[in-house]
Amino acid sequence: MQMLKSKLLELKEKEQRENESKLKGEQKDIAWGSQIRSYVFCPYTLVKDHRTNCETGNIQAIMNGELNDFIESYLKWIK
């Protein structure tokens, strides 16, 4: 009985890992040159998305979570 439970648990865990990998999609290495955005604080302020070339000088708003411009430009970029 214990062996059956362990096999069922193993199958369920495998199915869950497969579902998670489908949701995550392709993952790239975290390496030099693969950054998505640059944040410049000094001598001027600028945030630039390297995929879409969307940029803003209002770095404080970005740091406070106002990412709508970047999200919209990304959604347009992937289409």
Q: For residue 77, what are the contacts with CB-CB under 8 A and spacing of at least 6? A: 51, 52
pLDDT at 26: 75
Q: Choose among 32, 38, 65: nearest CA to 52.
A: 38
- The predicted-structure confidence for 12-68, as pLDDT tens digits, reads as follows 999 999 888 888 777 777 777 778 899 999 999 999 999 899 999 999 999 999 999
Question: Beta strand pairing status for 46-49 and 37-40?
Answer: antiparallel
Q: What residues make up the domain containing 41? A: 2-78
Q: What is the pLDDT of residue 78?
A: 86
Domain count, the chain: 1
